[in-house]
Amino acid sequence: MLWFLRLLFLAVLGSMLWVTSWASLQQSILAIPREVFTHPWFIATLCDAYFGFLTFYVWLAWKEPTLGARLLWFIAVMALGNLAMALYVLVELFRIRSSSQFGEVVARRNNGNIVLPGALVAVSIVIYCAA
Per-residue tens of pLDDT for the chain, all 131 residues: 888 999 999 999 999 999 999 998 898 888 889 999 899 999 999 999 999 999 999 999 999 999 999 999 999 999 999 999 999 999 999 988 877 777 777 777 888 788 889 999 998 888 888 76
Nearest CA to 64 out of 102, 118, 111 is that of 111
76-79: long-range contacts (C-beta < 8 A, 24 or more apart)?
Answer: 76/117, 76/120, 76/121, 76/124, 77/53, 78/50, 78/53, 79/120, 79/121, 79/124, 79/128
Question: What domain count does the chain have?
Answer: 1
Residues 112-126: tens digit of each pLDDT: 788 889 999 998 888
Residue span of the structural domain in which 49 resides: 2-130
